[in-house]
Structure 1
Amino acid sequence: MTGFDRVAMVDWSGGNDTGPRPRKDAIWMAEAGKTPVYLRNRVRAEQALSDLIADALENGQRLFLGFDFPFGYPAGFARALTGRADPFAVWRFLAERLDDTPDRNSRFHLGAELNRRFPGIGPFWFNALREDIPDLPRKDIRAGHGMAERRACEQAAKGAFSCWQLGGAGAVGGQVLTGLPVLHRLRHRFPEQIAVWPFEPLTRPVAVVEVWPSLINDVVRQVQDAGVIRDAAQVALLAAAIAALPPAVLATMLDVQSPEEGWIFGLGHEDTLRATAAELDKSALL
């Protein structure tokens, strides 16, 4: 069951409120066939996501909903942290501990708390705050923590960052710590309506899928050259490209087994994604 009526993508951010004026390095959401939407903080983003899911369910539509951050950590992390090799146990753990408001969040302190549960130094690192945080190194001096540096999919994805780095250009660790609690709440707000890929069979109306817009970077650059905000271009192009995939091709891309670490949608099929994105009418997307 892989056919979808609607496809939407979200470019996440682990930072604070980015103000009323649309800008880069913020949260952007785009549904295929619609103009990208700027969301200045995670409170607004979570409400927008809830509204989108509720609307799809009310209208009997299947929704493919992509997020650009890892849904899991390298193998062994979930069991070491929660006693179970269950990514959803990690989601709950983070949701119960992260303090998050539009103007501040505790992702760096949470990283330090997680580090204290492992031997040695790490696995999390990078502190962007002025205050020093015990057990969270500013630089990568990690050692002896026992975790692999990357998931299997990140080893295969050229340029992908490790989920342990909590800040810095291109880093994704902060998005994971702030994004997974939101996904946890959405799953419980819509019980039995959301399936998370590739952890669950996609037999429910809403599929929540890990994506990485960098897989279509070459096409995104073409739109960027016209002065479009990169984050907006990424979500618009990726949503439209996935919506345009033939059902059989989409089914092949979703045929992945990775019950603990998760996977990046489209990895190994980059040429197909890029070719589909390249054929889109870009002027109609942004």
Structure 2
Amino acid sequence: MSLFDTYIMVDWSGGNDAGPTPRKDAIWACIARGGVTETPVYLRNREVAETWLTEMIADEIGAGRRVCAGFDFPFGYPRGFGAALTGSNDPLAVWDWFADHIEDAPEGNNRCQVASDINALFEGVGPFWGNPYPTRDFAHLPRKGLARSNRDFPEKRAVEELAKGSFTCWQLSGAGAVGSQVIMGLPVLARLRHRFSGQVAAWPFEVLDRSVALVEIWPSLIAGAVARDMRADEIKDAAQVRVLAGAVARLDAEGALEPLLRAGTAGDREGWILGVGFEAQLEQAATGEVYA
């Protein structure tokens, strides 16, 4: 029996409104359900995305369907950071902390100022770095990673040491950087948890015994399958969520998803990327083949 009925994969963005015309480096989402992978949905900013996710989750819960919702940004930080920031070892306290401190609008947000303010709490320079604004400086946010001197926290999480090519969550700007997506994504996940209180579980921090499971994904784990399956004129971000949604759904249909979720217990404080250690199985599922 499948663990879930509906699979929603989301390619997130830490930037501003991307405009009405579908484009890369924006927010894309795709749903797989009942053996069918739907056309990816373009979501031009986080406000639109949060509304879409809220309505989608409410509909699925109302229909009695269990949901696996994946987001392509880290759900936690390297060991020690959460406790230093919030005074709690609960990684979900970091989600709530960012929800309380981040100000977000389609035209702009305060993520760099918040990162700078966090850096100011610690000795030395860092750990956050990267400033996307060429004419605006932040007192405690260096532009270059080499300018940092703070060594309170590891550079990467344990799972990122295994996921070769993954980026550290401390980097806020530059090609491939994921730090801004984390800061701007965790508040949305925090609000979804509270909006659907008692019905949402955050993997791997909580037991997945509720209607909705929020899981961390990284589409680059199936980069080969995405490259082979991209359609003519398809935007890569859209292809990634489409292929990954179908892969996760097929794994679950064959009873092969549970081991991937069980592996996440290794990241009980830092978070874990779904599929790390099971790249071959995920790639096979992405091409339509599943080997449990």
TM-score, scaled to structure 1: 0.95
Query: 2:137 matched to which residue of 1?
Result: 132
Deviation at residue 2 of structure 1 after TM alignment: 6.2
Gaps of 5+ in 1: 281-286
Query: 2:84 matched to which residue of 1?
Result: 80
| Aligned-residue RMSD, C-alpha | 1.3
After superposition, what is the alpha-carbon deviation per residue over 1:251-282, rounded to whole angstroms, capped at 9, x for unaligned? 111103122101000000000111111127xx
Deviation at residue 86 of structure 1 after TM alignment: 1.1
After superposition, what is the alpha-carbon deviation per residue over 1:123-147, rounded to whole angstroms, capped at 9, x for unaligned? 0000111211100001111113411
Kindly indicate whether residue 3 of structure 2 is the aligned counterpart of residue 3 of structure 1: yes
Query: 2:26 matched to which residue of 1?
Result: 26
Deviation at residue 185 of structure 1 after TM alignment: 0.4
Q: Secondary structure of 1:248's match?
A: coil
TM-score, scaled to structure 2: 0.93
Q: Distance in 1 between matches of 2:288 and 2:193?
A: 34
Query: 1:144 matched to which residue of 2?
Result: 150
Q: Distance in 2 between matches of 1:230 and 1:118?
A: 38
Gaps of 5+ in 2: none
Query: 1:235 matched to which residue of 2?
Result: 241
Q: Distance in 2 between matches of 1:97 and 1:224?
A: 39
AA aligned opposite 1:108: C
Contact 2:28 2:43 in 1 (8 A): yes
Query: 2:172 matched to which residue of 1?
Result: 166
Query: 1:274 matched to which residue of 2?
Result: 283
Kindly indicate whether residue 14 of structure 2 is the aligned counterpart of residue 14 of structure 1: yes
Q: Structure 1 stretches (4+) deviating beyond 4 angstroms?
A: none
Percent of counterpart pairs with the same letter? Answer: 53
Q: Distance in 2 between matches of 1:107 and 1:167?
A: 11
Q: Distance in 2 between matches of 1:114 and 1:220?
A: 37
Q: How does 1:84-99 map to 2 (within 5 A)?
A: 84-99=88-103
AA aligned opposite 1:134: A
2:42 to 38, 41, 60: 38
Contact 1:224 1:230 in 2 (8 A): yes
1:184 to 183, 190, 193: 190
After superposition, what is the alpha-carbon deviation per residue over 1:75-105, rounded to whole angstroms, capped at 9, x for unaligned? 1001111111111111111111111000001
2:159 to 143, 153, 161: 153
Contact 2:4 2:67 in 1 (8 A): yes
Q: Distance in 1 between matches of 2:5 and 2:166?
A: 30
Q: How does 1:200-215 map to 2 (within 5 A)?
A: 200-215=206-221
Q: Distance in 2 between matches of 1:275 and 1:173?
A: 30
Deviation at residue 223 of structure 1 after TM alignment: 3.2
Q: Secondary structure of 2:52's match?
A: helix
Deviation at residue 117 of structure 1 after TM alignment: 1.2
Q: Secondary structure of 1:203's match?
A: coil
Q: Distance in 2 between matches of 1:211 and 1:134?
A: 33
AA aligned opposite 1:146: D
Q: Distance in 2 between matches of 1:265 and 1:237?
A: 15
1:252 to 250, 259, 268: 259
Q: Distance in 1 between matches of 2:212 and 2:231?
A: 34
1:193 to 185, 195, 199: 199
